[in-house]
């Protein structure tokens, strides 16, 4: 049975005119109403009838690049590199021109992520690149698996960049996953080798894959050295504090860690931005880096080497990964065996870490 615009309006509890405005994008509609309409479109798998439908059936020259926060260099670097590859493929478009890369900023919202994918599906996007860690929520994972399968069925190439593959999803052309576990483990091994024994960890949001994998690497290094994160040791509170990937989170979490463990000698931050906040907290407590407290980050963002002192971190090849994702999205590079490639992480030991004081 053919789904009509009226069916979508009934499901979304709006007028047919409102549905038309949302789909055509030619009239302002409240964000909540827009999302309700797009959810109904997705649930009913509605497509336009007549000439517009046949026109939409051909893959367009549009490519969507989804990021959590375009202001975060982690995402900006990958998106910029991908866009350079997508826009630089002359003669690949349907009209013989370049592809148009559109960066979609989700703000970390799972609802916005699905909404953007629905919009890209309706536009018959040539490709979609999803960057960064994924939300570990069973309902969202199921919704994403279904959505990506619909995109693939419509001819859209789906590439993940810095994100592990979805379980049971055959719709993905390639998944470029960073070795966050290995990087996290090597970073903590570096601190242990320097002689640190009381190490605090400022983690990202608990529900994100990137957070879990980096924390798992950290804890694996501690276990191998016969240590733990402090929980249950002489009544000590856990030396892991979760928060957003932000400078403020790093600042507040480090103050909390210093409260929990006055003998703390090192802080590992979930990423370099968080590490900057950790450094500020250490200084505001009248302590020196690295003489009193060593601080380390993750990602090796451009400002890391220029921090004072230069930040010890784990380098992820963000620009190279984004460029590769763009080429894969355009079919200009052969996908890795099995569609999955693990991108190595490299320890960058700099001046912000040193052996702990012995006096």
CATH class, domain 57-178+319-343, is: alpha beta
Largest CA distance in the chain: 81
**pLDDT (tens digit, 0 to 9) for every residue of the chain, 359 residues total?**
677 888 888 998 998 888 888 876 656 788 888 888 888 887 787 765 444 443 444 467 899 999 999 999 999 999 999 999 998 755 444 444 468 899 999 999 999 999 999 989 888 899 999 999 999 999 999 999 999 998 998 889 999 999 988 876 678 999 999 999 999 999 999 999 999 999 999 999 999 999 999 999 999 999 999 987 665 455 557 999 999 999 999 999 999 999 999 999 999 999 999 999 999 999 999 999 999 999 999 999 999 999 999 999 999 999 999 999 999 999 999 999 999 999 999 999 999 999 998 87
- Domain at 5-47, CATH from 3.20.20.80, 1.10.260.40, 3.40.50.880, 2.60.40.3470: 1.10.260.40
What is the model's pTM?
A: 0.83
Looking at the chain, the domain(s) classified CATH 3.40.50.2300 span 57-178+319-343, 180-315
Q: Is 167 exposed, middle or buried (0-12, 13-18, 19+ CB in 10 A)?
A: exposed
Q: Is 45 exposed, middle or buried (0-12, 13-18, 19+ CB in 10 A)?
A: exposed
CATH superfamily of 180-315: Response regulator (3.40.50.2300)
**Residue 265, φ and ψ in degrees, nearest 5:** -120, -10
Looking at the chain, the domain(s) classified CATH 1.10.260.40 span 5-47
Reference 130, options 146, 113, 118; nearest CA is 113
Residue 6, both tokens: 């009226």
Pairing status of strand 157-161 against strand 199-203:
unpaired
CA-to-CA separations, 251 to 23, 216, 275, 299, in angstroms, rounded: 44, 22, 8, 18
Dihedral of alpha carbons 16, 18, 23, 26, sign: positive
């Amino acid at each position: 049975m053919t789904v009509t615009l009226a069916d979508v309006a009934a499901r979304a509890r709006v007028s047919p005119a409102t549905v038309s405005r949302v789909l055509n994008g030619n009239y302002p509609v409240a964000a909540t109403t827009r999302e309700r309409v797009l959810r109904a479109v997705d649930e009913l798998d509605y497509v336009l009838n007549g000439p517009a439908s046949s026109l939409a059936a051909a893959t367009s020259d549009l490519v969507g690049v989804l990021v959590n926060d375009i202001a975060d260099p982690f995402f900006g670097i990958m998106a910029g590199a991908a866009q350079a590859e997508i826009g630089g493929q002359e003669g690949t478009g349907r009209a013989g021109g370049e592809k148009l890369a559109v960066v979609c900023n989700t703000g970390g919202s799972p609802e916005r992520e699905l909404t953007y994918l629905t919009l890209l599906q309706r536009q018959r996007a040539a490709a979609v690149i999803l960057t960064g860690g994924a939300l570990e929520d069973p309902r969202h994972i199921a919704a994403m698996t279904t959505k990506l399968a619909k995109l693939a069925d419509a001819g859209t190439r789906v590439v993940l960049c810095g994100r592990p593959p979805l379980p049971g999803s055959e719709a993905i052309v390639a998944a470029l996953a960073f070795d966050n576990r290995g990087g996290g483990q090597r970073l903590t091994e570096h601190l242990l080798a320097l002689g640190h024994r009381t190490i605090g960890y400022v983690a990202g949001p608990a529900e994100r894959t990137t957070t879990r994998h980096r924390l798992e690497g950290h804890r694996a290094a501690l276990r191998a050295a016969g240590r733990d994160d402090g929980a249950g040791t002489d009544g000590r509170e856990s030396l892991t504090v979760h928060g957003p990937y932000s400078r403020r989170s790093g600042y507040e979490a480090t103050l909390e860690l210093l409260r929990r463990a006055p003998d703390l000698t090192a802080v590992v931050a979930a990423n370099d931005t968080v590490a900057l906040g950790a450094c500020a907290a250490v200084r505001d407590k009248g302590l020196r880096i690295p003489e009193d407290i060593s601080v380390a980050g993750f990602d090796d963002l451009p400002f890391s080497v220029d921090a004072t002192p230069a930040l010890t971190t784990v380098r992820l090849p963000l620009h190279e990964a984004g460029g590769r994702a763009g080429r894969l999205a355009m079919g200009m590079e052969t996908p890795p065996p099995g569609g999955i490639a693990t991108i190595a992480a490299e320890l960058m030991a700099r001046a912000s870490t040193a052996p702990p004081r012995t006096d």
